[in-house]
Chains A and B, each alone.
Chain A
Amino acid sequence: MSEPAIALSGVVHRYGKTRALDGVDLAVPAGCMAGLIGPDGVGKSTLLSLAAGVTRLQQGNVRVLGGDMAQAAWRRQVGGRIAYMPQGLGRNLYPTLSIAENLDFFGRLFGQGAVERRERIAELLAATGLAPFADRAAGKLSGGMKQKLGICAALIHDPDLVILDEPTTGVDPLSRRQFWELMERLRARRPGMSVVVATAYMEEAERFDWLAAMNAGKVLAIGSPDDIRRQAGETTLERAFVALLPEAERGDAAPMPDLPRVVHDGAPAIEATGLTRRFGDFVAVDQVNFRIEKGEIFGFLGSNGSGKSTTMKMLTGLLPASEGEARLFGAKLAGGDMATRKRVGYMSQAFSLYAELTVRQNLVLHARLFEIADVEGRVAEMLERFDLADVVDVRPESLPLGIRQRLQLAVAVIHRPEILILDEPTSGVDPVARDGFWRTLIELSRQDGVTIFLSTHFMNEAERCDRISLMHAGKVLAIGTPEELKRERGMDTLEEVFIAVLEEAGMGREDGEADLRERPAAPAHVRRFDVGRLWAYAWREALEILRDRARLAFALIGPILLMFAFGFGISFDVEDLPYAVFDQDQSAQSRQLLESFEGSRYFETRPSIASPDELDQRLKDGELKLAIEVPTDFGRDLLRERQPEVGVFVDGAMPFRAETTRGYVQGIALGYLADAQLRTTGKETEPYPITIEPRYRYNQAFKSVNAMVPSVIVLMLVLIPAIMTALGVVKEKETGSITNFQSTPVTRVEFLLGKQLPYVAIAFTSFITLVLVARIIFDVPVKGSLPTLALGSLAYVLATTGFGLFVSSFVRSQVAAIFATAIISIIPAVNFSGLLVPVSSLSGGARLIGLSFPAAWYQPVSVGVFTKGLGFASLWFNIVVIFLFALGFIGAAMVALRKRSA
């Protein structure tokens, strides 16, 4: 055979202390369908991600398609020839984009032109039968369709090597069968293509050309399925695999106990009549009827998206039914019925325990919430029963799926429920772990009389149920014991029954038969920088924003509303200060003095004060900001030139206001004195030997609004763009679509700039609307050069969106991204950017923080052009600095962003 598709030698990979791969030497042959089989957590996914180049190699050597994956140059070259579909149904797809748009995105990533993309997408959609649904959003597809879309995305660039990590996990048997048929057809068109698949389904592995059985980071056996069966001396692959395992890990060899069901009297445990649930026009569950007796194990089978989970949620009370009713223990289900909840245990499809709590903490929390009497004892019992004692202080996030599911089941039964509702509890769990799981279920049902209602895609599990029902498109199509169902249709296996029932119901007709054309191989040379790839990300991001209208509206209208609030609201104009007088003299002279306050627009007169205590109290209450005390005999002393003293009390709680008030009082006092002089001497005298002529520049009226409006633009163009981009990268990390960046030839610059571009456009649009609002609503003219302002603003929004991306590349969760961006940007933008205090007056750390954030550099540009009439000649330096900030943030984001994960 020619050179292997993937060759590993001496590969070791650790996550912390655990060794995911422990000295693996393996050559996966090219040009065939190769499989990796083995239980969860044995290193299959790690091996595939190393081969796809999305995980950094720690030790050893990995060669893919004849080149060394440790070399960046080879990874770039080979990236265009590999397709990688990560674990998890549709994890690398974008849910708000339609089928066609998703494929278009992948086509652009591989540098295909518009015509080529259109042709390829049309072909792939025809071949997979997805063509009629091209405009449906990926998030609204059923599991089987998502999987087909995933494979289309993987094949859009005619890869030489296709790496599929558990592509059929959590998919119903019909979709699974269709998937493999599709793969065969596609491979028949391109015989040279190598396919490597990891799977936990042994019956699927039977059809592969070559297999590697793995356990505990090591390869146990390689060869064709026949070879492996022969090596182990077993008849089926499943049993052969178990035989290859070390004895301690083989699980319980005893056959599954087949205890008869104990028939209980009384009302059925669960009863649904005419149960219906609509979401808008869509009927998710349509007139479903069934009754489940006490102690029964009832299996729920059906295609993905057929309404199984929705039905289960209605039975737990999570979702109200649109029509019909559900009865538990003979009583109608009520939303707030705590007593019933204590009798039910529920396990949702996705892992839904607290990843940040340890196994023990999770168990204790649930035990306490259910008010179990002996918490310690029960937790110990659960640890024992579910074999969790070894991992008691471990956080679930680092546990293999099988163990996590055991923990979920332990939590679901910790309060000794009488009914267990389990939504695909064994999805993605390996055969050995599944067997153990079922032993527990049978024990619970037969010994403890627990009623179990579960959904599954595994037919051997369905065989173990007392009764099963088949569901499709919201309707129950068949119900009965496995034997009955097989007998009715005269079929040997449940799988055949399942497929027959679903095909009758019309599922799977979308399957296409169109051919794929063989094309010339993709160009060997992959460019280092490609505008097309950058554009792919920009276009994708833009589509996503356009789909989320609410977000777009907040982004564009929010700043305008805020400008209204702040333009009017942030005002340093101190006016209408409430004040009162304590006039103990009540003479003509005192009234004359006080009149000068009454006339001022700065002050607002309140009822007079009658006593010193009252003066104190009213200032304390905050009712008065200013109190004036005129002493007794003021008038007499004034006339006798005894220089009487007038006491003025200013509320100093807010220093700025007090300071301004003091200035006003001094001014009024001065005016009064001049008047008094005039009255006594009859001539105007100048009290001082000099005069001072203040000139309020740039803002002659000295109105806050003129200075504030340009500064509010500074604030708006940092906070909103930063918070928008803050989720850009981290969201892909959380959902898993980051693998598209990791496994394709797209570079960090292309990825980051592509993500940034749409937000820069939004922020710049926002800038234009803000300038218009300033001009039209606030009547603040642009005195200087508008092009300079526009250039500075462009640099500024590049910097602020870059800041958001930087935070996003750095953090690991969306919560942390929102938190960090808000806190890190709000404080300097509000306090140290010149909005409130001029940058020239900042000192110490504040000045340093201020100058290391772009807002302080942009504020002079905005204020300068608006109020001072400046142009490029005066502001070029600031603009250059802001550009450097933009470069710096993007550079830092590139450093923080890893092309390959650890």
Chain B
Amino acid sequence: MFARLARIFRLGIKELYSLRADPVLAGLILYTFTVAIYTVASGAKFEVENAAVAVVDEDQTALSKRLRDALLKPFFKEPVLIGADEVDAAMDSGRFVFVVSFPPKFEHDVIAGRQPTIQLDIDATAMSQAGNGASYIQNILIQEVLAAVPGAATTQPVNVVIHAMFNPNLNSAWFTSVMQLINNVTMLAVILAGAALIREREHGTIEHLLVMPVTPTEIMLAKIWANGLVIVVAATLSLLVVVERLLGVPVQGSVPLFVASMVVYQFSVTALGILVATVSTSMAQFGLIVMPALIVMNLLSGATTPMESMPVWLQNVMQLSPSTHFVALSQAVLYRGAGLSVIWPKLLALLGIGAAFFLLAGLRFRKALQAAQ
């Protein structure tokens, strides 16, 4: 048993040497955990921020100006004044997501209590911003009118107070940064382990190992621990430095618990990478299988859009993906401060899926070696 562990350890050290010898891979890993996370979290926001708004002001009064000025940064970019005839072209080109149109005699009608209508054109193909942005704009305009027109404010019989738990300002960078981290972990783990195995197969080094007192299980475990170590360390550093420091996201939950879970996740995705390598006969096939698998795992895991929004059959299919469980687990640990008592079923699922991948890969290991020859 000890000898077995020693062999797994030695083979893993070899993996680390190999990684060190390839500056391109090292550079890409660095990029993935720094620049890629930072730009995605800070630049591509799901909340309504920097939304491009145009205003058609056919009223040109104090009130319409006041309403216009109420569409403030950081939610909206400085509104651009356009003519009524430009609305279609401006929206067609995708320059604006929202166009607010004040009708003529708007102020006059408000004061006269005639309830004029403001038209709000929304580019409904910008799914992530259209709905929320529209309700923002409606709220802002109404609040502003109520404040501007004396006596218009009526007292509400009930005061509905909405609290956003775990992320009071609903800052999307909190979410995107960690989800991007997870996506990148998935991507690196699958490709790194799988492609390395195919390379060893093409260079004949795997065959060489198999005539020595080394089993396929040991080879796979060595790949898993070595690649896993690199990625978990890089991801943890990224969480502490890029996410917490640079992006200023307060990580509320237990970082050790998250990292420990990441180790389990790492096992399952690396095993998946090895499995894909054993079912593909060449690097070209590997690439064509891995690419779709990765985007499905990233986009449909609940890290991008809500899991509940997917059709039930697809939700069920996605239970087979380790990323689905890890995303749910991470959200629970990092945002809601959940402990082991809450997340253990997810951990168990990760272990189970990982073990299944691992076993299948082990069964295919020698066959794949012969098929590829």
Select A844's contact among B43, B93, B168, B196, beta carbons within 8 Å: B43
- Interfacial residues of chain B within 136-164, with CB under 8 A of chain A in the complex: 137-139, 141-142, 145-146, 149, 152, 154-164
Most central of B49, B131, B171, B192 by chain A CB within 10 Å: B131
Q: Flag whether B10 is at the interface (Cβ < 8 A).
A: yes
Known: A318-B211, A352-B203, A690-B117. A840 touches B95 (CB 8 A): yes
In the complex formed, the residue of B with least CB distance to A874 is: B92
Q: Assess the B213–A695 pair: CB atoms within 8 A.
A: no
In the complex formed, the residue of A with least CB distance to B309 is: A571
Q: How far is the CA of A834 from the CA of B130 in the complex (A)?
A: 13
Chain B residues whose CB sits within 8 angstroms of the CB of A501 once the complex forms: none
Select A571's contact among B188, B284, B305, B342, beta carbons within 8 Å: B305
Chain B residues whose CB sits within 8 angstroms of the CB of A319 once the complex forms: 370
Q: Assess the B205–A352 pair: CB atoms within 8 A.
A: yes
Chain B residues whose CB sits within 8 angstroms of the CB of A350 once the complex forms: 203-204
Q: How far is the CB of A71 from chain B (nearest CB, A)?
A: 34
Q: Assess the A815–B283 pair: CB atoms within 8 A.
A: yes
Q: Assess the A565–B296 pair: CB atoms within 8 A.
A: yes
Chain B 280-322, CB within 8 Å of chain A: the 1/0 string? 0111111111111011101110101110111100100010000
Q: Assess the A689–B149 pair: CB atoms within 8 A.
A: yes
Chain B residues whose CB sits within 8 angstroms of the CB of A318 once the complex forms: 207, 210-211, 369
Chain B 177-203, CB within 8 Å of chain A: the 1/0 string? 000100000011001100110110001
Q: How far is the CA of A696 from the CA of B309 in the complex (A)?
A: 20
Q: How far is the CB of A176 from chain B (nearest CB, A)?
A: 25
Q: Assess the B122–A849 pair: CB atoms within 8 A.
A: no
Known: A694-B122, A720-B291. A860 touches B94 (CB 8 A): yes
- Interfacial residues of chain B within 2-18, with CB under 8 A of chain A in the complex: 3, 6-7, 10-11, 13-14, 17-18
Interface stretch among B231-239, B256-264, B327-335? B327-335
Q: Flag whether B44 is at the interface (Cβ < 8 A).
A: yes
Q: Flag whether A731 is at the interface (Cβ < 8 A).
A: yes
Q: Flag whether B268 is at the interface (Cβ < 8 A).
A: no
Select A655's contact among B119, B126, B163, B172, beta carbons within 8 Å: B172
Q: Assess the A620–B342 pair: CB atoms within 8 A.
A: yes
Q: Flag whether A823 is at the interface (Cβ < 8 A).
A: yes
Q: Assess the B46–A655 pair: CB atoms within 8 A.
A: yes
Chain B 206-223, CB within 8 Å of chain A: the 1/0 string? 011111111100000000
Q: Flag whether A811 is at the interface (Cβ < 8 A).
A: yes
Q: Flag whether A24 is at the interface (Cβ < 8 A).
A: no
Q: How far is the CB of A310 from chain B (nearest CB, A)?
A: 10
Q: How far is the CA of A513 from the CA of B335 in the complex (A)?
A: 81
Interface stretch among A7-15, A163-171, A555-563, A742-750? A555-563
Known: A554-B288, A622-B331, A689-B152. A643 touches B296 (CB 8 A): no
Q: Assess the A823–B31 pair: CB atoms within 8 A.
A: yes
Chain B residues whose CB sits within 8 angstroms of the CB of A554 once the complex forms: 285, 288-289, 292
Select B45's contact among A625, A707, A819, A841, beta carbons within 8 Å: A841
Q: Assess the A673–B158 pair: CB atoms within 8 A.
A: yes
Chain A residues whose CB sits within 8 angstroms of the CB of B162 once the complex forms: 648, 650, 662, 665-666
Q: Assess the A652–B335 pair: CB atoms within 8 A.
A: yes
Chain B residues whose CB sits within 8 angstroms of the CB of A1 once the complex forms: none
Q: Assess the A837–B135 pair: CB atoms within 8 A.
A: no
Interface stretch among A285-293, A446-454, A722-730? A722-730
Select B331's contact among A578, A654, A676, A840, beta carbons within 8 Å: A654
Q: Assess the A690–B115 pair: CB atoms within 8 A.
A: yes
Q: What is the size, in residues, of chain A's interface with B at 8 Å between Cβ atoms?
A: 151
Q: Assess the A568–B120 pair: CB atoms within 8 A.
A: no
In the complex formed, the residue of A with least CB distance to B87 is: A697
- Interfacial residues of chain A within 816-844, with CB under 8 A of chain B in the complex: 816, 818-823, 826-827, 830-832, 834, 836-844
Q: Flag whether A61 is at the interface (Cβ < 8 A).
A: no
Interface stretch among A42-50, A52-60, A177-185, A362-370? A362-370
Q: Assess the B161–A846 pair: CB atoms within 8 A.
A: no
Q: Assess the B115–A691 pair: CB atoms within 8 A.
A: yes
Q: How far is the CB of B222 from chain A (nearest CB, A)?
A: 10
Q: Flag whether A464 is at the interface (Cβ < 8 A).
A: no
Q: How far is the CB of A127 from chain B (nearest CB, A)?
A: 32
Most central of A570, A654, A700, A860 by chain B CB within 10 Å: A654
Q: Assess the B211–A696 pair: CB atoms within 8 A.
A: no
In the complex formed, the residue of B with least CB distance to A355 is: B203
Q: Flag whether A338 is at the interface (Cβ < 8 A).
A: yes
Q: How far is the CB of A460 from chain B (nearest CB, A)?
A: 27
Chain A residues whose CB sits within 8 angstroms of the CB of B127 once the complex forms: 572, 704, 707-708
Q: Flag whether B124 is at the interface (Cβ < 8 A).
A: yes
Chain A 569-600, CB within 8 Å of chain B: the 1/0 string? 11111111110000000000000010000000
Known: A346-B211, A649-B163, A689-B113. A569 touches B299 (CB 8 A): yes
Q: Assess the B157–A641 pair: CB atoms within 8 A.
A: yes
Chain A residues whose CB sits within 8 angstroms of the CB of B370 once the complex forms: 319
In the complex formed, the residue of B with least CB distance to A643 is: B159
Interface stretch among A143-151, A474-482, A514-522, A862-870? A862-870
Q: Assess the B50–A843 pair: CB atoms within 8 A.
A: yes
Known: A571-B310, A643-B156, A652-B167. A826 touches B294 (CB 8 A): yes
List 25 A–B pairs whose Cβ atoms lie within 8 Å, in order of A's numbering: A336-B215, A341-B211, A341-B213, A352-B208, A354-B17, A569-B305, A574-B309, A650-B163, A654-B306, A656-B172, A656-B175, A692-B118, A698-B123, A720-B288, A724-B287, A815-B25, A823-B188, A827-B32, A831-B40, A841-B97, A845-B35, A846-B39, A846-B44, A860-B93, A874-B93
Besides A355-B203, A863-B125, 13 other A-B contacts (C-beta < 8 A): A622-B342, A652-B165, A652-B167, A655-B175, A673-B158, A689-B115, A696-B130, A702-B124, A820-B24, A827-B36, A831-B40, A845-B38, A846-B44
Q: Closest 9 A-B residue pairs measured CB to CB?
A: A846-B43, A652-B167, A699-B124, A352-B204, A356-B21, A652-B164, A653-B335, A663-B135, A696-B124
